[in-house]
Structure 1
Amino acid sequence: MTKTILITGASTGIGRATAEHFQAQGWNVIATMRTPEIGAELAQLDNVLVTRLDVLDQPSIDAAVAEGIARFGAIDVLLNNAGYGAYGPLEAFPMDAIQRQFDTNVTGLLAVTKAVLPHMRAAKSGTVINISSIGGKMTFPLGTLYHGTKFAVEGLSEALHYELETVGIGVKIVEPGMIRTDFGGRSFDFRNDESLEEYQPAVQGLMAAFDSLGGTASAPSVVAEVIWQAATDGTAQLRYTAGEDAAQFMAQRAAQDDATFIGGVKQMLGL
C-alpha cells in the first residue's frame, strides 16, 4: 500500500525538496504551506495534494489533516518542518516578535503533532519527524530566541519518543547544519538596534560568520535524503545530522567541554 507523508512548510527549501523526493519515491505527499498558490508546480505532480496549513491557525491545521486523510486514507509520516530563525540582541526584540518565534517553532509544531496523533494512534503506527538544527545542540551569539526554540524541539521530541513508542509511533529528530535555503531571507528575522552599542561587535561578527558558513552550505536535497532515511530505515534511531558541517560541529560539541567549545565560537566570531 502506498504510504503518505504530511509536510509543513513545503513551499520552499527543505520542505519543498522533501516533497519532491518522497513523490519521486512513489509516496503520496500532503504538501502544506501558508500560501498554497506558491506550490502550484508541486500540485501538478502525481499523488501530491497542496493545501493550506498555518501552524499558528488551528482551524487550518485541522482542515489540512482531514483533507489529507480524506484524499489518501492515511498519514504514515508527519514532517514538522515549518519554522524560521529570529536572531539579534534580545533587547532589540519586542515581546510580540519573541512570542511569534516560540509560537511558530514550538507551539505550532506541537499543535500539528497533536492533530495527527489520534489518527496514528488508531492505526498503531506512524512516524513523527521534527526538524531541529545543530542549533538545538549548540549556540551562536544573538540566537537566544532561535536556539531557545530548537533546544525545546530537541527536548520535547526526546520525551515524546518514550511516550509514543508505547503505541507504535516513532519519533525522529533531524539536525541540519547550514543549508542553501531562504533561511537568510524570508525565513530569517534579524533585529538590531544600533543604539545598543555594546552588542554591535557581536552583530558584526555573527553576520561575517554566517556569510562564511553560507559558502559551504549543503543543498536542501541533502536534508531530504536524511529525512527519507529517518522515515524508512525501520530503526529506533532518534537523531540524524544532515550536512558535513553539522557532523563536524556535533563532533566538536560532544568532544569539548563548555569553555573550550564556547571559546572556539567566540574566536571564530572575533569576540
Structure 2
Amino acid sequence: MKKTVLITGASSGFGKATAELFAARGWNVIATMRTPQELPGTFVTPLDVQKPETIRAAIDAGLTRFGRIDAVVNNAGYGAFGVFELTPDEKVREQFEVNVFGVMNVVRAVLPHFRANKGGCIVNVSSGAGVFALPMISLYNASKFALEGFSESLSYELGALGIRVKIVEPGGVITTKFGERSAKEASLLSSGIRDYDSFVSEAHQVFAAMRASRSASKDSTSEHVAEVIFEATNDTSERLRYVATSDILPLVRARRQTSEDEYMAFMRASVAPKPPAGP
C-alpha cells in the first residue's frame, strides 16, 4: 500500500517542493495550505495552523481520501524581522501562534490516529535559527528554539509509542522573503528609535553577506531541503536532527562542537554588529 503524508504550508517554498517530491516518489500527498491552489499529483485541502478546526477538517479529509496517514511534515511558518523593542505585541504573539502553537495544534490533532496505528512520523521543519541566534530575528529565534525543545522532548514521549519525531534544520533563516521584508521595514525601523539606526545598518550588511554565502552554496535550494525532509521521514533510526544545507554548517558546528566562550567569540566576530566606539 502507498504511504500517505500530510504537509502544512505546501503552497510555496519548502512545503511545495516537499509535496512534489513525495508525490514523485509514490506517496499519497495531502498538501495543505491556507488558500488552496492546484498542485498536480496531490490532494489539496485547506488548513490554517492558527485555526484548530481547519486542522481537524484537513486530517479527516485526508483519512476519507486515503484511509491512513503515515507521516506529517510541519512546514508552515514565517520569520518576523526587526528590532524587538520596535515590534508590536500582536506581532510577537503571531510569531509564536504560527511557528510554535500551530505545530502543537497539528501534532495534537494527528496523535490519536498515530496511536491507533501504533506508529507514524512527525517531521518538524526548524531552521538554523533554532540552533544559533542572529541579530534582528529575536522573535524568529525564540520561536524556533522553542520548536526544537518541544520536538526533542516530544521524541522521548512518543518514541515509547513507536512514533518517530524528526527535526530538519535548513538555512532558511536567510531567504529571499527575509531580504524583501528587511527592505520593506527599513524605513519603519529607522524612523523609530534613532538609537538603533547604526545597529540596523550594520545588521543589514551582516545579512547581505550571509545571503551571498547562501547563494554560492549548491544545496541551498527548496528541492534539496525537500530531499532531506524525505530522508528524515523514511529514516527509522533514532536520529533526531538533520542539518539540511551546508551554508549554516560553520555556525552549527560552532554552537554544538565548541565551548560557550569559543562559540560567543566566534559569533561576535562573525555576525554581531560592532558596538559604537566610546566617547
TM-score over 0.5 for the pair: yes
Q: Are the aligned partners of 1:178 and 1:246 in contact in 2 as well (CA < 8 Å)? A: no
Pick the structure with greater CA Rg.
2
Corresponding residue of 1:225: 227
Q: 2:46 aligns with which of 52, 69, 77?
A: 52
What SS class does the counterpart of residue 80 from structure 2 fall into? Answer: strand
Residues 180, 219 of structure 1: 8 Å contact kept = no
After TM superposition, the structure 1 stretch with the greater mean CA deviation from structure 2, 121-130 or 227-236, is: 227-236
User: Quick one: distance in 1 between partners of 2:108 and 2:249?
Assistant: 31
* Alignment equivalent of 2:158, drawn from 147, 150, 164: 164
* Aligned-residue offset at 1:158: 0.6
Residue 66 of structure 1 is matched in structure 2 by 60
State the shift of 1:232 in Å: 0.9
Match of 1:264 among 262, 266, 274: 266
Structure 2 partner of 1:30:
30
**Unpaired segments of 5 or more residues in structure 2?**
215-219, 275-279
* Contact in 2 for aligned 1:9/1:15 (Cα 8 Å): yes
* Runs of 5+ consecutive residues of structure 1 not aligned to the other structure: none
Distance in 1 between the 2:181 and 2:147 partners?
18
Given candidates 96, 111, 117, the residue that maps to 1:117 is: 111
- Native 8 Å contact 1:13 1:182 kept in 2: no
SS at match of 2:239: coil
Partner amino acid for 2:88? P
CA distance in structure 2 between the partners assigned to 1:180 and 1:251 by the alignment: 18
Q: TM-score, normalised by structure 2?
A: 0.89
Give how far 1:185 is off: 6.5
Asked if 1:79 corresponds to 2:86, the answer is no
Change (3 A) 1:106 1:186: farther
Q: Distance in 1 between matches of 2:180 and 2:147?
A: 21
Q: Which amino acid aligns with 1:239?
A: R
Describe the superposition over 1:106-140 as per-residue Cα deviations: whole angstroms up to 9, x where unpaired: 00110011111100110001000001111111101
Contact 1:180 1:220 in 2 (8 A): no
Instruction: Output the CA distance in 1 between the equivalents of 2:90 and 2:190.
Output: 17
Aligned residues: 265
* DSSP 3-state at the match of 2:189: coil
For the Cα contact (< 8 Å) 1:76–1:127, is it kept in 2? Answer: yes
User: Partners in 2 of 1:133 and 1:115 — Cα distance?
Assistant: 23
Contact 1:92 1:193 survives alignment (8 Å):
no
Deviates more, 1:183-192 or 1:81-90: 183-192
Code of the residue aligned with 1:213 in structure 2: it is M
Q: CA deviation at 1:63?
A: 0.6
Q: Which residue of the partner structure matches residue 7 of structure 1? A: 7
Q: Show the counterpart of 2:200.
A: 203
Equivalent-residue separation in structure 1 for 2:194 and 2:257 (angstroms): 35
